[in-house]
Amino acid sequence: MRFAIGVDSRARSRGAIELAAWLRQHSRQDASLVAVHVLDQRVRVSLRDDLVDEVVSRAQRELEGALRDADASELAGNAHVAFGDTPEDGLAATAREQDVDALLLGRIAPAHAVALQRLGRVARRLVRELPRPTVIVPPDLQRTAIGDGPIVLATDMHGDSADAARFAVRLGDSLGRTVIALHVMPPRDFAPDWGMGAGLGRGPEQPDDATRLRSLTEWLAAQGCERAQPRVISGDIVDTVLGVATKERAPFIVTGSRQLGLAGRLFSSSVGVDLARLADRAIAVVPSVV
């Protein structure tokens, strides 16, 4: 699989670099990785060419230095500086140009930190708008702490989750890991919107676990993901997914995204964004347009 890592000079990139190095080490076939640092497009249009070259050279050295500091010098050979009107625009352009399977990006807040702002503007926008998987990584993730268990796929069995399921299986195959397909049934008196598909098990019509398990097995088969292990649990969606991932020592949680617009975000929560904000491990948010 092919990944791009968005790197800035701040500590928030460290976890993404650690994950990239771990992927390179553990993939059955060497993961293809490109590291990129985005400079403001205005630098290129406002400075003389020789000064632009100097700025780019300095940014390239800082980028390679960040990789060395994270003991990931092997990634420096495929690291470059790009320009963009905004950091997210530059990262999105790199993802398209490099035709990556996913973009790895650090978030602001460390695992278990109490912080009002946890993702940051760039991560929030890319999770909601980038038309390919975005993997959000806590900045303090260490490759030695990345779990040796299965990939956990969180699914509501709607069409918005189909590409997430296929991505999870492909990632599992690349890493030699099984996939647990987890469907969480909210309690009857509390059935929030997943943010990946409307109408999940509300009120007295909510089916029982056995019915949901059969439905999940059939849904996985329809997506070509029969190898995934179906599991149905009742409880709070985000807490349950995080709890299962911790118990199973999952290196990744994979979930889908409806890529809600502003109006939709005002009235609907997104499980993918909530997991990306709170998890102590990598969260892959996969849009349904992949």
Strand-pair partners of 153: 181, 254
Nearest to 245 by CA among 180, 167, 152, 156: 152
Listed residues 141, 174, 207: the one ending a domain: 141
Q: Are residues 7 and 51 in the same domain?
A: yes
Nearest to 79 by CA among 4, 170, 184, 168: 4
Higher pLDDT, 102 or 120: 102
Q: Find the helix or strand (DSSP H, E) in which 238 lies.
A: helix 237-248
Full domain range(s) for residue 28: 2-141
Higher pLDDT, 132 or 121: 132
8-state DSSP, 169: H
Average pLDDT, the chain: 84
Higher pLDDT, 232 or 8: 232
The pLDDT assigned to 228 comes to 96
Average pLDDT over residues 265-279: 71
Listed residues 103, 121, 141: the one ending a domain: 141
Q: Are residues 211 and 107 in the same domain?
A: no
Listed residues 84, 117, 141: the one ending a domain: 141
User: pLDDT confidence of 182, banded at 50, 70, 90?
Assistant: very high
Q: Are residues 165 and 96 in the same domain?
A: no
**Could you tell me the sign of the dihedral formed by the alpha carbons of 160, 166, 169, 170, in that order?**
negative
User: pLDDT confidence of 268, banded at 50, 70, 90?
Assistant: very low
Q: Are residues 109 and 179 in the same domain?
A: no
The pLDDT assigned to 197 comes to 42
Residue owning tokens 């995204």: 257
3-state class (DSSP) for residue 284? strand
The pLDDT assigned to 270 comes to 77
